[in-house]
Amino acid sequence: MIERALILDGYTDEPAGLGVPPYIGTYPRYAYGVLDKYDVKVDYITIDKFREIRGDFNLDKYDAIICICGFHTPGKYLNANPATLKEFVSILYKYGGLKILGGPSATKYGSSMIGGKIEDESKYKAFFDVVAEGDLEAVLNDLLREKSIEKVDFNRYRTYEELREYAIRGAKVVKKHPNYPYIIAEIETYRGCSRALTGGCSFCTEPRRFGLPTFRDEKDIIDEIKALYNEGIKYFRIGRQPCMFSYKSIDSEKEEVPKPNVEAIEKLFKGIRNVSNPKVLHIDNANPAVIARHEDESRKVAKILVKYCTSGNVAAFGVESFDEKVIKANNLLTTPEDVLKAVEILNEIGGKRGETGLPYLLPGINLLFGLKGERKETFTINFEYLKEIYDRGFMIRRINIRQVVPFFGTEITLKDIKKAEKRKKLFLWFKEKVREEIDNKMLKRVVPRGTILKDVFVEVKEREDLYFGRQFGTYPILVGIVDKNLKIGEFVDVEIVDYGRRSITGRVIKP
C-alpha cells in the first residue's frame, strides 16, 4: 500500500513537548520508526526547508505524505516558522496520494499557529485521508499492517511496549534534518498527570487527554538516547512530561502531589551517562508543589540533576498565578509558599556556576493570564511575589508571561477570554513592568558582566556588525554579538558586556 513516504514536519509545541528547531520532536521520529519497521522508503523534510526548494520538489513520487504540526502553547521562535493546516492544504491540493495528518492539529486538543497566535483550523482536517486523533505512530502501524484505511482506528493510542521499537528505529531520521547535527532531541519520559485525580488545572489538556501518569521504562529511554547518540546527536532534553521530579513517583495514581522516586530518577540519568557523553543534557517541567512538599526527596533529585546533567539547566515551574483566588478558581493547587520554597531549594542546590558559564539548575516561572477569577489585584499580587523572589536574592532563569488559550475539553471558555480582553492594558502594563524591573536585574544576577558563555551557536545576522546566537539547551538566553567576522552556524565563546531586558550583549573571546 505504501512503499515510499514523505514526512513533512511543520513543527509542534505542547506544554510537555517541543518540536520546533533547534528541537526535533517525538512525532517525526516515532513516525519514521514505524515506517522503517515496515521497510517503507522514507524521506523527511522540515517545512522551512521545503519552502526553500518547493519549486524543485516532486511530491508525486510518494505514495503517502505525513504532515505534522500543531500547538497547545503559543511561542516565538528565533529561526523557524511553523506550518498551519491551511498551508499544508495549499501544498497538497493537487497531490493524489494518501494524505496523513499527525501532531496536535490532528487531535481535538490542538490547533495551528497563525501570525503568532493559535487559531482553530479544524475545517481543514477533512482534506486529509487519515487524521490521527490518537497517536500518529499507532495509526501508521495499523495502516501498514492492515493495508486498509477502513480497518484502522484513528483514535488508537500506543503502549510504551510497542513504542520502544519505534523510538529506537526512528533515531535514524535525525541525519535527514537540515540542521543536523545541531539539533536537540526531545525525549519522552511519561504522559498524563497526577492532577487528573481532581480534574487538573482548568486550562490544561494533559490530564484530560491522557489521565493519570503512565511511565516509560528507564531502559527504553536510555536505549533511545543511545541510538540517537550513535547517530550523532549530542543535545538532549529529558522532557515530554508535566514534572521531571515526579517520574515514576510513588503513589502517582493516589496522590496529587506524589513523592519523588529518587532511585528511578538516578537510575535514568546515570544510565544516560553510561551510554552517551552529551554536550547538553537538560530537563523541562517541574511541579514546585512536589519539590516544596517532599523536600528531602526533592533535594536528592536536584542533586542528581546537578551531578548528571549539564549546566544551564532549567526546571520550568507552572506557577500560572500567585493570586490565591485565581489558584482556587482554576484548581491550580500550588501555593505561593510552595513556589518560594521550591525556588529556594533549587537555588541552594543548583545555583553554582558550571562549565557553560551558567548555573547548573535554576527555576523558571510560567505565569498565565486570563484565568477564571482574575481581577485587577491579580497583576499586583503576581508582581509583588516576583519582586520578593528577587529581593530575597534568588535566581530565576526566565519568566514566561502569556495569555491563556481555550482548548477543547478544558474549563477555559471564549467568555473567559473576552473578560481577559478587557484587561489587555493591564496585561501589557504588567509584562512591561516585569521586563523593566525584574528581568533585566535578574539577568545581571544570573549572568554577571564578564561571565564567559561557552559554545554560543551563531544563528542570525541582524546587520553587518551584529549577530544573534544562543547556547544549546532548554530556554537558552539570546545573545547579541557585536562582530563583523562571524559565520552563521559556528560556535563562539562570548564575554558578557551589556544587557537588554531579556537578552544580553557579548563580545567574542578570540582563541
Question: What's residue 438's pLDDT?
Answer: 96
Q: Within a domain: residue 387?
A: no
For residues 233 and 329, membership in a common domain is answered with yes
Q: Which residues pair with 362 in a beta bridge?
A: 314
Q: Is beta strand 491-499 parallel, antiparallel or unpaired with respect to 452-463?
A: antiparallel
Cα 431 to its chain centre, rounded Å, is 22
Rounded CA separation 175/22 (Å): 14
199 shares a domain with 274 = yes
Mean confidence (pLDDT) of the chain? 93
pLDDT digits (tens, 9 = 90+) for 44-103: 999 999 999 998 899 999 999 999 998 866 667 888 899 999 999 999 999 999 999 999
* One-letter identity of residue 149: I
In this structure, the answer to whether residues 209 and 344 fall within a common structural domain is yes
Rounded Cα distance between 92 and 140, Å, is: 19
Q: Residues 200, 270: one domain?
A: yes
Asked if residue 212 and residue 148 are part of one domain, the reply reads: no
224-239 confidence digits (pLDDT tens): 999 999 999 999 999 8
Q: What local confidence, expressed as pLDDT, does residue 349 receive?
A: 98
Asked if 333 contacts 324 with a C-beta cutoff of 8 angstroms, the reply is: no
For 443-485, what is each residue's pLDDT tens digit? 999 999 999 999 999 999 988 889 999 999 999 999 999 998 8
Percentage above 70 pLDDT, the chain? 97
Averaged pLDDT, 202-222: 93
Same domain, 229 and 146: no
Inside any domain, residue 154: yes
Look up the pTM and report it. 0.95
Answer yes or no: is 8 within a domain.
yes
Cell of 222: 536510555
| Within-domain flag for 403 | no
Q: Point out the domain boundary residue: 312, 342, 368.
A: 368
Instruction: Please compute, for residue 421, the number of CA atoms within 13 A of its CA located in the half-sphere on the CB side.
Output: 7
3-state secondary structure of 238: strand
Cα gap 69→53, rounded to integer Å:
20
Read off the CATH number of the domain in which 216 is found. 3.30.750.210
Please give the tally of structural domains in the chain. Answer: 3
What's the pLDDT band for 116 if we cut at 50, 70, 90?
low
User: Does residue 124 form part of some domain?
Assistant: yes
| Host domain of residue 91 | 4-160
Alpha carbons 251 and 255: distance in angstroms, whole number: 6
In a domain, 436, yes or no: no
Same domain? For 39 and 95 the reply is yes
Considering the domain architecture, whether residues 211 and 351 belong to the same structural domain is answered as yes
In a domain, 88, yes or no: yes
Q: Assess whether pLDDT exceeds 80 at residue 508.
A: yes
Q: Are residues 63 and 92 in the same domain?
A: yes
pLDDT number for residue 204: 86
What are 398's three cell numbers?
526566565
Of 337, 368, 399, the domain-final residue: 368
Would strands 214-215 and 190-191 be described as parallel, antiparallel, or unpaired? Answer: antiparallel
In whole angstroms, give the CA distance from residue 25 to residue 19. Answer: 4
Give CA separation, 132 vs 31, 85, 108, 156, 171, in Å: 11, 14, 10, 8, 21
Reported in sequence order, the residue ranges of 22-175 that DSSP labels E, i.e. its strands, are: 23-24, 41-46, 64-71, 98-102, 112-114, 117-119, 130-131
Q: Indicate if 185 and 155 belong to the same structural domain.
A: no
Instruction: Give the integer Cα–Cα distance in Å for 464 and 484.
Output: 6
Report which of residues 318 and 117 the model is more confident about: 318
330 inside domain? yes
The residue out of 341, 368, 395 marking a domain boundary is 368
Q: What is the CATH number of the domain that holds 47?
A: 3.40.50
> pLDDT (tens digit, 9 = 90+) per residue, 237-261?
998 899 999 999 989 999 999 999 9
Identity of the amino acid at 90:
S
Q: What is the CATH number of the domain that holds 490?
A: 2.40.50.140
Check whether residue 39 and residue 110 sit in a common domain.
Answer: yes
Confirm if 285 and 244 have CB atoms less than 8 A apart: yes
Is the domain of 127 the same as that of 214?
Answer: no
